Structure 1
Amino acid sequence: MPSKEWPVVWAAVREERRALIDDLTALRPEQWATPSLCPGWDVHDVLAHLVSTAKTTRWRFLRGMVTARFDFDRDNAAGIARERAATPAGTLAEFRRVVDETKTPPAAPATRLVEAIVHGEDIRRPLGISREYPIEHVATALRYQLKTPAAMGGGKQRAEGSRLVAVDSGDAAGSGDVVRGSGLSLLLAVSGRPVHPDEFTGEGAAAFLSRLAIAD
């Protein structure tokens, strides 16, 4: 049965998708080929992936995984190949069409919010685009990532041994030496994205960054 939180999460997902559309609408043609924070994917690839996952139902996910012989990378590549239009404008038009979709693979809707924010940064950071994310959106995504194993796309293991404190939301989780940073920086770090050392303070910051480097 759907949780009472689902409508709130899906509203946040739609908001993040629309914000990304706004940012991408003004891109110059050559910017679409910019390498994203996802190794091997450019900006256009990440958008095609977001289109693919917006259309992914539980059954479609399971069929795709069987076809990909349960290889997540192969399944993602197939989704990008299927949804990447001949031009970025075509892919962006399809993303607009699916912006209000509430489909999800066999996982909590919070995974769609994690994806919207993290993949949004996979695109924005290399392009030099900044977004002031609503703190509550980031906090929801971070809480989900911190309780989800890395094998399932989460960041639980990356956070082990640290007391993570989001200085903007006031959320704190874990035990160990304190690591302070914005909720967004912490979310990206535990999601396996590159972060700058200056994004963190606290007595546990250096050890946290070292563990991230080893894990990735």
Structure 2
Amino acid sequence: MSDTPTRDELWALTHAERAALADDLAALDPARWAQPSLCGRWTVEEVLAHLTAAASVGRARWVASVLGARFDFDRHNDRRLAEHRGADPGETLDRFRRVLGSTTSTFGPTEAWLGEVIVHAQDIRRPLGLDRTPPVGAVTPVAAFYARRDFTVAGRSAVDGLRVEATDGPFAAGAGPLVSGTTLALTMAMAGRAVYCDDLTGPGVPTLRRRCAPA
């Protein structure tokens, strides 16, 4: 893979990360599907249903859904989540497996949709104690995208005025007080997951932690 992955390479990484998450959840105890995730008020099962929706709803349907929700994005997401959630966790997982190879998306760069899978997979894995870490090569393009642009997450705003450097790969960006850690921990912190600040070091960590705090 090149230093700057192609669109096809990014989709291949996305498909691999979806498949890895599905495998992680295959033997999950039914009660644990109701465990809170790192993603706000959503449970593990609801986050997975959201990922299925994201891989199923193209641009036209997305626009229609947002208009129908009167630009209330929480309502839009909840409606699409409910649409793709199964009658039980097993069916929810089966529905997710059907979209593992999907390249359906709405607007924006492919890095954003790879990031959607990586971040939400960790939203699920960390509370469940599942210790799989995505390959650095998959996380690095997401980290670089988050650091340069606010899109699906406010990544650029989170690290504005800070120097962020990965300890396990080539990712580095910005200037200012240093924040260092794994590529995954930096990416998750840029996505607003404050718990990952515990995995970071450097004088810039308190600033980043404040920016990760819920508004």
TM-score when normalising by structure 2: 0.93
Change (3 A) 1:153 1:132: closer
* Residue 40 (structure 1) shift: 1.1
3-state DSSP class of the match of 1:61?
helix
- After superposition, what is the alpha-carbon deviation per residue over 1:196-216, rounded to whole angstroms, capped at 9, x for unaligned? 544111222233323333x64
Aligned residue number for residue 107 of structure 1: 108
In the aligned structure 1, how far is the partner of 2:71 from the partner of 2:183? 32
Change (3 A) 1:59 1:186: same
- After superposition, what is the alpha-carbon deviation per residue over 1:56-105, rounded to whole angstroms, capped at 9, x for unaligned? 11111111111111121111000111111111111111111111010110
Aligned residue number for residue 135 of structure 2: 134
Change (3 A) 1:153 1:207: closer
Matched, 1:41 2:36: no
Q: Percent identity?
A: 40
Amino acid at match of 1:180: S
Give the unaligned 5+ runs of structure 2: none
In the aligned structure 2, how far is the partner of 1:196 from the partner of 1:16? 20
3-state DSSP class of the match of 2:163?
strand
In the aligned structure 2, how far is the partner of 1:156 from the partner of 1:4? 20
Give the unaligned 5+ runs of structure 1: none
Amino acid at match of 2:200: F
Count of residues in Structure 1 that have an aligned counterpart in Structure 2: 212
Change (3 A) 1:167 1:15: same
Matched, 1:174 2:174: yes
Aligned residue number for residue 85 of structure 1: 86
Matched, 1:59 2:83: no
In the aligned structure 2, how far is the partner of 1:178 from the partner of 1:120? 27
Task: Say if 1:14 and 1:100, in contact at 8 Å, map to a contact too.
Answer: yes
Matched, 1:185 2:185: yes
In the aligned structure 2, how far is the partner of 1:65 from the partner of 1:198? 35
In the aligned structure 2, how far is the partner of 1:210 from the partner of 1:34? 26
Matched, 1:14 2:15: yes
In the aligned structure 1, how far is the partner of 2:57 from the partner of 2:112? 12
Deviates more, 1:28-37 or 1:130-139: 130-139
In the aligned structure 2, how far is the partner of 1:90 from the partner of 1:198? 35
Aligned-residue Cα RMSD (Å) equals: 1.6
Amino acid at match of 2:208: F
Amino acid at match of 2:74: D
3-state DSSP class of the match of 1:26?
coil
